[in-house]
Amino acid sequence: MKVKRTNKLRLRPTKEQEKVLLSLCEMSAVLWNKVNYKRRQSFFAGSINWDTSSEYEEFKRIIGAATAQQMIRKNDEAWRSFLKLLRLKQKGKLPKHVRKISPPRYWKDRLTGRRKLLTVIRNDCYRIVEVGNKKWLVFRGLRIRITGDIRWRGKQGRLEIHYDDLTGRWYALQSVEVSVNRAESAKRAYADLGVVNIITGWVEGERQCIAFSGKPLLADWWYWTKKISRCQSQLKRVNGRKTSERLRKLYRKRRRRLRHAVNTIIHHFVRLCFSKGVGEVVVGDVSHIRENNDKGNEINAMIHNFWSFRYIIERLRTTAENFGIKVKLVRENGTSSRCPWCSSKNVKKHKRLFKCLSCGIEAHRDVVGVLNIARLHGDGFNGVLAHPSLLRGEEGAEVKADVAPMSVMPSEARISRL
């Protein structure tokens, strides 16, 4: 199976090379804005003007024919995506999390007047040269030193070069088409997503479920949220501003720390499934959990801001695909309010404890959720313990849990570095 992946590399140009990159990205942004202006005006007038021959002829002498072609193609992709969303909206099939649809924007900041510095290099117009441990990006007569691991190797696609104005660094994103072997095993794993435990999973045939704690992630997120709050208060009190470079850096740091921790958890869960010979992971779909969900400021912040379940699902799909494992989303309605052992709804729930008043079983609520998913969408379960083996992500911990047998894992194993 062919899949597309991305290598992220950092460029380390000299001062002369940086001037060339700045000029190339600046003119690429000008081309994007001119093409986008024509299409926006024609769209608001009733039809889209797809003819870009005049812009192509003008800019192919400035940035090169191949780069001009790629920039126009990138704008085409943005408009086709926008039109597809419009058609879904007209049919009433627009995803509920998409609330606003806007035409592609200009690559320019209205407040600062600065253009977004980005350009696209065609796949046959560049190459990456490796000599020992050193790497260079060669294109348009430039030989720029690059750093970073080339994780994916295969048929190379186009290269996007952009400038990060927050850090003052240059980055290159290389798309690569690679082959992935699909797992043929019929064995399944089941997963329930949550806030307190990011993933609670069970593999068919295992005696105990496994839960990846989200408490360290949540504590770290609250820490950075309070720092953001203090920064916002200072900005408003001192000069009445709503944003600043420092505030943008805080938001980015909070997001990156959270996503790094989530990615680590997902990787270890999928690798554990792979080591157990799993061919498919069945995940409870929580897409509508935020609808009409108002439980106070703190709980709302955790559900609506901290818990990025769509990101978790997408990362789970991508990571599982890397191991050749399929991911299937299923409805999980009622999985937390029914006893998986006797199917009774006469239950009592308190915090993380679930008690069935019919059969007397006491279990962890997340275990109840994942076992109900297995009961509804699989072959059921037999002899599974009522409480999970808990894995925490803590500072300085060794990563060993993903290769240990699930039945002998310690209850407080530490797996990742937050």
State yes or no: pLDDT of 404 exceeds 50: no
State yes or no: pLDDT of 392 exceeds 70: no
State yes or no: pLDDT of 329 exceeds 50: yes
Answer for the pair 101, 82: CB distance below 8 angstroms, yes or no.
yes
pLDDT tens digits, one per residue of 53-106:
999 999 999 999 999 999 999 999 999 999 999 999 999 888 877 888 999 999
Cα 121 to Cα 3, 13, 140, 153, 362, distances in angstroms: 20, 17, 10, 18, 59
pLDDT tens digits, one per residue of 289-301:
666 666 667 777 7
Q: What percentage of the chain exceeds 90 in pLDDT?
A: 62
pLDDT at 94: 87
Cα 91 to Cα 86, 135, 199, 226, distances in angstroms: 9, 49, 34, 42
Mapped onto helix, strand or coil, the DSSP state of residue 3 is strand
Answer for the pair 220, 258: CB distance below 8 angstroms, yes or no.
yes
The whole-number average pLDDT for the span 187-192 is 93
pLDDT tens digits, one per residue of 114-160:
899 999 999 999 999 999 999 999 999 999 999 999 999 999 999 99
State yes or no: pLDDT of 3 exceeds 60: yes
Closest CA to 306 of 249, 388, 393, 222: 222
pLDDT at 98: 83
The whole-number average pLDDT for the span 250-261 is 94
Q: What is the mean pLDDT of the chain?
A: 87
pLDDT at 413: 34
In which element (H, E) is residue 86 found? helix 65-91
pLDDT at 399: 33
CB neighbour class for 120 (10 Å; exposed up to 12, middle 13-18, buried from 19): buried
Answer for the pair 200, 370: CB distance below 8 angstroms, yes or no.
yes
Label residues 137-163 b or e (16+ Cβ within 10 Å = b). bebeebebebeeeeebeeebbbbbbbb
Mapped onto helix, strand or coil, the DSSP state of residue 158 is strand
**Euclidean distance between CA atoms 325 and 180, whole angstroms:** 10
State yes or no: pLDDT of 398 exceeds 70: no
**Euclidean distance between CA atoms 246 and 231, whole angstroms:** 8
pTM of the model: 0.84
Cα pseudo-dihedral 308, 232, 170, 220, rounded to 10: -40
Name which of 317-321, 367-371, 414-418 the model is least confident about. Answer: 414-418
Answer for the pair 125, 132: CB distance below 8 angstroms, yes or no.
no
**Of 148 and 288, more confident:** 148
**Euclidean distance between CA atoms 201 and 273, whole angstroms:** 9
DSSP for 97-117, written as a single string: T-----PPPPSB-TTT-PBP-
